[in-house]
Structure 1
Amino acid sequence: MKTQFNVPTREEVSADNQVILDQLKGALGMVPNLYATIAYSDTALGNYLTLQSGKTSLSKKEKEVINLVVSQVNNCEYCLAAHTMLGKMNGLTEAQTIEIRKGDVAFDQKLGALVKLTKAVSENRGRIDDAVLNQFFKAGYTKGSLVDVVITIADKVVMNYLHNLTEVPVDFPAAPAL
């Protein structure tokens, strides 16, 4: 039998996390269930938000592409829903989010190389074919970009795994089925 996880209320988390949840609510108008769930740990929410908001060479759109690919590989219903919405807020159409999730992008060569790299890294734990890496570099990405992609993948794996373990309710519109 699977352990049931509730989404903790503000009163059920530490005083430090209450401040962070209040800030999230002020900025987003809500506290996403998965962020509230991270607040079970007295330190993880702050640490995660620091990682997530760190400087990067990647655009918001590129980060959403990575988030969609990793969430699809990890079959995370929560993150697919959240990042379909965020992807659309950052310039992707719904049809493009589906194409990205399928792993073969025709609408943009550079994003296509990013999708292929992200999918290969995620599925093979970083051990990828040289052709995929070379395509990524030929598309205009740098060694620094590669490092930023890996950090973004790691960020998304944290949330994918947390949701897949807890199965807290998804509080974003569901992502279209593939």
Structure 2
Amino acid sequence: MTIRRKLLSAAAGVALAPFVFALLPAGTAMAHGYVSSPASRQAQCATGAVPCGDIQYEPQSVEGPKGLTSCSGGNSRFSELDDDSKGWQVHPVSGSVEFTWTITANHSTSTWEYFAGGQQIASFDDGGAQPPSTVTHNVDVSGLSGEQKILAVWNIADTSNAFYACIDVNVGG
């Protein structure tokens, strides 16, 4: 094969590559999201309010198997989220809190759950719907008082995983 033919073959391959990839079946979209308001621990890392490791670059990626109770979602790369002594900003709240999730890649949702002290304080069933780019839940915290760590969980409908976020609040403070 001459050099000219090799160059033409290579150029043809480069030109056709986008069309070949466009015809391939699309993969399943990966869900990603985090609580942006009040600022979750990973949101504080992303803004630099608290110095953190890798999570500062991808606050939306705290994903792990459903049923975990850790801020890191069991992901060792984000273990600093489990460190309660790290200097997290504590948000003063009253009887209810509006938690807003920022969704960077939506995915079918089964439920959104909120926990304080290991007890579920709220649950919202989405029945498999795909969320928009932001989701807000109004959660009643009137049964709590003082400083609390709220664990927010986004359970994905068609995988065994969930996304985790911890938000530090001071109820009545």
TM-score, length basis structure 2? 0.23
The structure with more strand, counted as a fraction of residues: 2
TM-score, length basis structure 1? 0.22
The structure with more helix, counted as a fraction of residues: 1
For the pair shown, the structure with the greater C-alpha radius of gyration is 2
